[in-house]
A = this chain, B = another copy of it.
């Protein structure tokens, strides 16, 4: 019988053929005629390197992690061979190193003065010091998130203590935002404008909002975990959704429109046109912001996809908290710095559902076991919803909440036949909910279902953002 946790083999010839492709994208901006958006070419090339690098480094460094006691048992398998844990550290290191190496490409003379000035919509004349500060503070936040994720993996911090950790990681963002006297205004939705005006200055609340966004993005991925491939696949899909959204704002040579009135929008969505800079309608700032977002999202897809190859069922490597921290922070960073935090939250629909569903357990209303992952049945190789056992009778509030959730089909209760008291409830996570509604399934099938849910969430998000949002917002976006 082959070793179930031996590193997965890599199709080396296929992968190494990516190296010249990636190199071409990196050197392309140096070759005349300079393409439009030269830095984006470099970013794409580096992202391919991120993918290939992670693919090779994860299995290579696995044994080192096991030796340093960074290892774990796969709870949902029949074997108990230790599997290297916290390999998200490798992803984070590759990711951050490439983001740092990218600095001169994004900000040097080739990519700015010579190239940008040829496009009317996005003229830049002087060195973008402000963007460099923003870029650096973002990397700093990512690095702190990585560091804290690693500390969490080493010292095994209890979850109640680690919820506020992302706030620490968001401090550089907030500090630079404050030092640069960043805008703390938000655009008020149309129905509320008679009350609040068009723009509302949130002041210090805006900083609170930014820290909470980091906390949410990070922890919401961290609590939707436990089965092979869950964390990395969520990250890949959210990142791809953000990328799709960013691409709408770039100056494309083509021009087309999407018939949004079919989805309930007031007007069709017009995309593309070099001179209009996509949906940015000629706004330099919007193009820059979405380029910034792309620079962070492309390599993230690279490292997460590379890691997913080894983390896919049956997993050869575990992400640890490090991966959730760094990916969550990356999403928060682009949402905050590129000013599309509301759109970003729309891509987190399954995470929001999972978080809201988890609240009774997270806030102590319902007992919360150490692991809420589904229960593994070794005989059938299927996963079943896991249950939280009430050691003490539930409070009246808990009983009420659980009965409502059960009525909505979100949990299943075991009731004492005589007293009618709740003895057990299925753990309140999206994974247990999927198992409850769709029946027991294999781990691989469950992660595929989760991926399908996430993709559906993103489709809904786009419909809401570019269809329904026109009902409550006009074109004024800041």
- Identify the A interface with B (CB < 8 A): 64, 67-70, 97, 100-101, 103-104, 106-109, 127, 129-130, 132-133, 136-137, 139-140, 143-144, 146-147, 150, 154-156, 168, 171-172, 175-176, 178-181
Copies in the complex: 2
Chain B residues near A143 (CB-CB < 8 A): 140, 143-144, 147
Contacting pair A97 B168 (CB below 8 A): yes
Q: A129-B129, A140-B136, A154-B154 are in contact. Are A179 and B68 (CB under 8 A)?
A: no
* A-B residue pairs in contact (CB < 8 Å), sample of 18: A67-B155, A100-B171, A100-B172, A101-B171, A103-B176, A103-B179, A104-B175, A108-B178, A108-B179, A109-B181, A127-B180, A127-B181, A129-B129, A136-B136, A146-B147, A147-B147, A147-B150, A154-B154
Shortest beta-carbon distance from A329 to chain B in Å: 14
Bound: A139/B171 CA distance, A: 13
Alpha-carbon distance between A150 and B172 when the two chains are bound, in angstroms: 21
Q: How far is the CA of A108 from the CA of B174 in the complex (A)?
A: 13
The residues of B that contact A179 with a CB separation of less than 8 Å are 103-104, 106-108, 132
Q: Are B147 and A103 in contact (CB under 8 A)?
A: no
Contact A176 B108 (CB under 8 A): no
Distance in Å from the Cβ of A227 to the closest Cβ of chain B? 27
Nearest B-chain residue to A144, judged by Cβ: B143
Main secondary structure of the interface of A (DSSP, over half): helix
Interchain CA distance A132-B175 in the complex, whole Å: 11
Once the chains are docked, how many angstroms separate the CA of A132 from the CA of B172? 12
A203 shortest CB reach to chain B, Å = 15
Complex alpha-carbon distance, A78 and B68, angstroms: 28
In the complex, what's the smallest C-beta–C-beta distance from A183 to chain B, in angstroms? 15
Residues of B close to A147: CB separation below 8 A: 143, 146-147, 150
Please report the C-alpha to C-alpha distance between residue A64 and residue B155 in the assembled complex, in whole angstroms. Answer: 7
A420 to chain B, nearest CB (A): 45
> Which among A67, A107, A146, A175 has the highest number of chain B CB atoms within 10 Å?
A175
Shortest CB distance A306–B (Å) = 20
